[in-house]
Structure 1
């Protein structure tokens, strides 16, 4: 665990120190688009924050190569290197989009290319296990594996992109999600499914560290945004960690639904810890499609975080509420596999009650005061985003 803490610290410090330089470059290069109608900030803010996150991740991985126990993750598998290379590609794609605002189709093609590179470099779904079914383990042929992994990767990349709308929102969600994945991957190794020093655990801990280092620059009031270079990088790393975790379990050791929990959790966990961004993306696609609009090129101001602002929350409170919901879902996803289910349910219910009370507190206060619903403009302008 000490080696992981060292790697996390290095990634965090490097990101924290390099982000001001990245911001300086972004301002000089003009990677700070004009404010759009759907934006919450009121003045242009530089992007390219994903570059700082990527530099921190690279530093963390570099240090990991020199640590005795983590060295084995590079000898046993090429997954860490594959994610770093594909992550560099998608970060570069995001940099171009942050500066030149690429066409949606061009960006989608680039995302598919980066996801394809990830698969070709060795990160892919090799099988699907259906416990309690006569089908058992379904081995995927190379073409099906390539297609399915690519689709899942592109979906996760865009889900993270959709949620990036308030200062510090995606960065904090990424920290919570990455730490959840790390805890599960580490626990899986402790149970004998692989090793505690594994690629998924390393990838998620360096991502968490890098995002922790970036958060002070990104939390309200933000001085720099993640941009597409950061949101797409985060999505790719998280989905790669989930896929890698799945590939490390041995289907021959499971015979019933009860004993298959460690195998199916890597498939269920992404749905739990990525539920907020995935839900936001699905609602946006449905909403825009029903209006006859292109779901990926017609942005609006109806995302979940925008709705929290409309209720009457400040930016910081809206972000914290989203953090709490992400933490609740992550806790359920991880806790159901490593803790007593009864304890998980009790704690989750308490957290949900707290989250719901916080979410609707402005409306409750208005009813008590007898006032009409009103959204202060300051809620939208707070912190310049």
Structure 2
């Protein structure tokens, strides 16, 4: 307990410090993302990955908080995905390379002995889906970090319920690292998460959730896993549907994510983050309660139905805000009196 608190505190402070120190080098190297014509350097992902891996490895190496069987491999695979994402941030790799690399890493962490080969292939696809969904969430200030923190706490609670102490500690460290990152990423963001940090976050969360559900039935597990990542999945489904309907390429960036549409309807950047964070808290809570047996599995159907209605409702919102009519000033004419 005391080590968990100390580890989380160390991860939070280390991430905040690294994000601040790496901000200037990232800007000079051109590793930036443009948001609303504002360049945002992307050292946040490196800070989150380095802090999470360093604190978790220190606990495992000293024997104070052993990660357990398979968790070290998960962390190493996540670090590999993060490295690929960081290369993508620096050299603008095409998304297909990120997909292939994430799939290879996911194939290394799936417990095929429990899932079987068909189930393992489904698990690999789901891990890749969640990792890419978190990458898509990194389109606005505070979004990916906030949803990541909430999800990490939820999956950590599931791991603790299964007495997977090492995995629970890892997730608490990740949640703390993302909190330290949010100190620089809340609107107006001074640093961004980037592909490296967002892929790492989604990959670790999806893999950890999958491990906690090992040994349970396929259909109940699918419901719990969906509830734990419903907001990120909803954003990804929304983007796929919107681009298919509009005939736009799926992998080309555009202002058609949940955060974009909410802001077009008048919400501030902070307001959009709070709304999506509250939505993530609600769905994650349902997933945790179903996993621990406090409520029945049918509650997941309510989450799925609400998510579908939300996606269809938001899909009808234009990605472009209402046009502002230009105001015309009429100058009074001066009348000149004769004589």
Q: TM-score range by the shorter chain?
A: 0.7 to 0.9
> Conserved in 1, the CA contact under 8 Å of 2:153 and 2:171?
yes
1:55 to 50, 54, 61: 50
Counterpart position of 2:317: none
Deviation digits for residues 219-253 of structure 1, max 9, x if unmatched? Answer: 11110000101110011100110122123x4x6xx
TM-superposed CA distance for 1:304, in Å, is 1.1
What secondary structure does 2:41 align onto? Answer: coil
> Conserved in 2, the CA contact under 8 Å of 1:176 and 1:326?
yes
> Conserved in 2, the CA contact under 8 Å of 1:15 and 1:213?
yes
Counterpart position of 2:98: 107
> Conserved in 2, the CA contact under 8 Å of 1:16 and 1:213?
yes
> Following the alignment from structure 1 to structure 2, what is the Cα–Cα distance between the partners of residues 309 and 97?
28
> Conserved in 2, the CA contact under 8 Å of 1:167 and 1:220?
yes
What secondary structure does 1:198 align onto? Answer: helix
> Following the alignment from structure 1 to structure 2, what is the Cα–Cα distance between the partners of residues 22 and 375?
40
Unaligned runs of 5+ residues in structure 1 are 129-139, 190-195, 252-259, 361-372, 377-385
TM-superposed CA distance for 1:291, in Å, is 3.0
TM-superposed CA distance for 1:198, in Å, is 3.4
TM-superposed CA distance for 1:214, in Å, is 0.8
1:290 to 238, 245, 248: 245
> Conserved in 2, the CA contact under 8 Å of 1:10 and 1:59?
no
> Following the alignment from structure 1 to structure 2, what is the Cα–Cα distance between the partners of residues 4 and 308?
36
> Conserved in 1, the CA contact under 8 Å of 2:210 and 2:225?
no
> Following the alignment from structure 2 to structure 1, what is the Cα–Cα distance between the partners of residues 160 and 282?
20
> Following the alignment from structure 1 to structure 2, what is the Cα–Cα distance between the partners of residues 212 and 18?
13
Pairing of 1:74-223 with structure 2 (within 5 A): 74=68, 77=69, 79-116=70-107, 119=108, 122-128=109-115, 140-141=116-117, 144=118, 146-189=120-163, 196-199=164-167, 201-223=168-190
> Conserved in 1, the CA contact under 8 Å of 2:106 and 2:127?
yes
Task: Provide closer, same or farther for how the CA distance between residues 211 and 125 of structure 1 changes in structure 2, counting only shifts above 3 A.
Answer: farther
> Following the alignment from structure 2 to structure 1, what is the Cα–Cα distance between the partners of residues 125 and 281?
26
> Following the alignment from structure 2 to structure 1, what is the Cα–Cα distance between the partners of residues 323 and 131?
32
Pairing of 1:1-385 with structure 2 (within 5 A): 1-33=1-33, 35=34, 39=35, 41-65=36-60, 68=63, 70-71=65-66, 73-74=67-68, 77=69, 79-116=70-107, 119=108, 122-128=109-115, 140-141=116-117, 144=118, 146-189=120-163, 196-199=164-167, 201-247=168-214, 249=215, 266-296=221-251, 298-338=252-292, 340-341=294-295
Task: Provide closer, same or farther for how the CA distance between residues 302 and 86 of structure 1 changes in structure 2, counting only shifts above 3 A.
Answer: same
Task: Provide closer, same or farther for how the CA distance between residues 66 and 203 of structure 1 changes in structure 2, counting only shifts above 3 A.
Answer: same
Which segment is superposed worse, 217-226 or 91-100?
Answer: 91-100
> Conserved in 1, the CA contact under 8 Å of 2:19 and 2:43?
no
TM-superposed CA distance for 1:146, in Å, is 4.9
TM-superposed CA distance for 1:106, in Å, is 2.7
Cα RMSD for the two superposed structures: 2.9
> Following the alignment from structure 2 to structure 1, what is the Cα–Cα distance between the partners of residues 291 and 87?
40
> Following the alignment from structure 2 to structure 1, what is the Cα–Cα distance between the partners of residues 211 and 228?
16
